[in-house]
């Protein structure tokens, strides 16, 4: 087997595992019930308006794509996982939003150079394993003068801490994969985009989450619905001691971030204008 063939087969295997992970549970419900406003926050920050051509990368069930369509834009929601796209179609129909849903890999977008006025990703592209490859694609498909807009969990925030907690219970990442919360580090994202963008605006914000009455309620909800958490538990299902340890770790983490049933999850909001 040639090096090129091995690399291609390895990449396909990695992407297949990503699709399977995000098809677990019910991420569409998580996005809709826990963080429903974040997509609209990104759409407003990027200045999306009527007639704009918008691509939502790693769109999931359309947390940003649907608000962009409701703002009058012509939108394509792209994602690696067909199950999330199907859920997004249902949500869009319920809300009266018209847009296209297309299966696509954030690391190899099937779109022309400069095809879109706005290229967005709300908690999506951060999970693609090779950050520079994904960033290059975001820039490539954005027209000169167009806007790239991103929302990502920060390493220091609750979700960043949760992902780090679960890492000990998951198989090692594939070679070359980088931690998702690095997209929540301003210096990292600036380095990924480089001098291909100007007018970079960065803000650390928090989203208020009051969906859970207790740390245990949070754990049980994410254990049932959030793909990475479901995958972590499935991987250790035959080891009761590790299951109990993960149960305890998630409750302890949620407890440190919860006060009177309210949590505040930090994210990085970044917008930039494509140079050229």
Q: Give the chain's length.
A: 276
pLDDT at residue 269, as a whole number: 98
Q: What is the pLDDT of residues 243-269, one digit of tens each?
A: 999 999 999 999 999 999 999 999 999
pLDDT at 3: 41
Q: What is the pLDDT of residue 84?
A: 97
Q: Residue 14 has what pLDDT?
A: 84
- pLDDT computed for residue 1 by the predictor: 45
Q: How far is CA 185 from CA 13, 177, 199, 228, in A?
A: 28, 16, 17, 21
pLDDT, average across residues 87-106: 98
Model pLDDT, residue 202 = 98
pTM of the model: 0.94
Question: Average of pLDDT values for 141-168?
Answer: 97
Instruction: Specify burial of residue 66 (Cβ count, 10 A radius: 0-12, 13-18, 19+).
Output: buried
pLDDT greater at residue 32 or residue 175 = 32
Reported confidence tier of residue 5, pLDDT bands at 50, 70, 90: low
Confidence of residue 176 (pLDDT cuts 50, 70, 90): confident
* pLDDT tens digit sequence for 12-22: 888 999 899 99
Q: How many CB atoms lie within 10 A of CB 158?
A: 23
Q: What is the pLDDT of residues 59-82, one digit of tens each?
A: 999 999 999 999 999 999 999 999
Residue with tokens 């890492």: 167
Q: Are 33 and 217 in contact (CB under 8 A)?
A: no
The stretch 125-150 carries a mean pLDDT of: 98
Q: What is the CATH number of domain 3-210+266-274?
A: 3.40.50.150
pLDDT over 90 at 174, yes or no: no
């Amino acid at each position: 087997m040639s090096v090129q063939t091995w690399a291609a087969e390895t990449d396909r295997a990695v992407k297949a595992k990503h699709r399977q992970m995000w098809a677990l549970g019910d991420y569409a419900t998580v996005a809709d019930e826990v963080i429903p406003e974040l997509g609209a926050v990104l759409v407003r920050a990027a200045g999306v308006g009527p007639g704009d051509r918008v691509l939502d990368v790693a769109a999931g069930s359309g947390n940003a794509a649907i608000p962009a369509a409701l703002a009058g834009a012509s939108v394509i929601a792209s994602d690696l996982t067909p199950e999330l796209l199907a859920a997004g179609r249902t949500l869009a129909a319920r809300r009266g939003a018209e847009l296209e849903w297309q299966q696509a890999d954030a690391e190899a977008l099937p779109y022309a150079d400069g095809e879109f006025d706005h290229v967005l990703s709300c908690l999506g592209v951060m999970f693609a394993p090779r950050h520079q490859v994904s960033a290059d694609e975001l820039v490539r498909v954005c027209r000169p003068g167009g806007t790239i807009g991103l929302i990502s969990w920060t390493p220091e925030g609750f979700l960043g801490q949760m992902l780090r907690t679960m890492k000990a219970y998951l198989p090692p990442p594939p070679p070359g994969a980088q931690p998702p919360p690095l997209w929540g580090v301003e210096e990292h994202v600036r380095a990924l985009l480089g001098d291909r963008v100007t007018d970079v605006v960065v803000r650390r914000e928090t989203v208020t989450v009051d969906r859970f009455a207790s740390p245990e309620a949070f754990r049980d909800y994410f254990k049932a619905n959030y793909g990475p958490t479901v995958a972590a538990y499935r991987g250790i299902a035959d080891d009761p001691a590790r299951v109990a340890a993960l149960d305890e770790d998630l409750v302890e983490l949620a407890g440190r971030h919860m006060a009177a049933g309210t949590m505040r999850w930090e994210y990085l909001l970044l917008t930039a204008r494509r140079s050229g």
